[in-house]
Structure 1
Amino acid sequence: MGGWWDRNIVEPGKLPLFLALTAFILTFLITRTITRMIRAGKGPFRNVTPGGMHIHHVVPGIILTVIGGFGVIGGYGHGFGSGLSAVLFGVGVGLVLDEFALVLHLADVYWTEQGRQSVEVVVLTAALVGLMLLGFVPFGVNGVTDEEQADRLTVIANICLNFLIALIALVKGKLRLAVIGAFIPYFSLVGAVRLARPTSPWAKRFYRERPKARARSRIRAYRHDKRWDRLGRRFQDLVAGAPSR
């Protein structure tokens, strides 16, 4: 355990990332707890409405993200300033992404079905930053050997191939597999070789004259969503609260 900590956390450049990720996750969980209490009318917390205008927490989130981001860029080593900037950045990003759906729709959809998009983005962001903390590099660069690193063409070809596979998975409508596959190429490869989702650009382009492929795509998407969406919604409701009916 100590070796893993020294290798992945204490090593130069990893501690600020660890602090930012921890602050990000804690901020999201604490914010959701407070908003759920406000929604239920419990506890001392209330919406901030100076002059009758509701100030959403995305506003202080943007401010903290700006301060922390510039602080991280200007920081160095393991100094206190670098760590503090990383924490401020993590807190700011947690506040901003908790209202990602609000920013996306330009409407207060926090407790609606559209508000689930915020939870999905937070979970995906935490997973990707966690992979970076463990040493994964986008598009499989971390899997290149020392001999291959000496050959720039091999490295470039490896990056381009992994990027192309992730892009195919994305065009096929497999967003989660494509994003995670940017760090672990196996995931994007699975998304690239499987049938595209029926509403994806790939299906609209290549399944137009293939009715059997369109039908299989719809059936597979229906079965997948039926199997996993309910589980995902239960997890989201447990962590972030259920949308209003």
Structure 2
Amino acid sequence: MRPLEADEPRAIGPYRLLGRLGSGGMGRVYLARSEGGRTVAVKAVHPHFALDEEFRARFRREVDSARRVGGRWTAPVLDADPDAPVPWIATGYVAGPSLTQAVTAHGPLPERSVRVLGAGLAEALAAVHAHGLVHRDVKPSNVLLALDGPRLIDFGIARALDGTASLTSTGVSVGSPGYMSPEQILGKAGGAGVTGASDVFSLGAVLAYAATGTAPFSGDSSAALLYKVVHEEPELDPALTGPLRDTVAACLAKDPA
């Protein structure tokens, strides 16, 4: 967590901000405390999105849907204000590092841990998809490792950005190169629908990273990564073997069916 900078708010809605947890294409995430003393994570979208009424409408719909997705493997939506001058959403705070932080600090996870991780994320995605949502940004930094199991964060909200952000907008993308599915990439140009199968592709890429410390697609630029995802087979590390390798390869099939 980083201290708040001079130009950052000290409170969002009823939540007092304690520090900044991170930032991304959609906005900034803060550690905050409710009036009752509960610790939460509050995400405030970038101000330029607030000027787009279409974005606000999508954000409102996605928040309403995401509220219904609870369960053991996700961070529940606790509060939100899509109509605020800067729209925001508050979720339960998960005390644990992201998968990216854990692998960077300690190396790849043991095979058994990868299996537990995969089972938890699959259950989380099943809950998301059951409510008609598609995550669209399943990646290592959106997986938090809590003491009682993994948590998938930012589910559903990514879809509110679709049509507002683009792959070429400065600092903004709906999805992350190297973890996006082929149909998600092609859909930006061709308008193809993206279903829950897209998240399964991303799940395979995340598990490959967890097991080996490397993503299944590599490149020197976003364009190179996107090309490889669409046109080339994944580069699976030899350390990934047996049934786990078979499962990852099946998730990374180009055909969403």
TM-score band, normalised by shorter chain: under 0.3
| Relative contact order, higher structure (CA 8 A, sep 6+) | 1
| Larger Rg, first or second structure (1 or 2) | 1
Instruction: Indicate the structure with greater helix content.
Output: 1
Instruction: Indicate the structure with greater strand content.
Output: 2
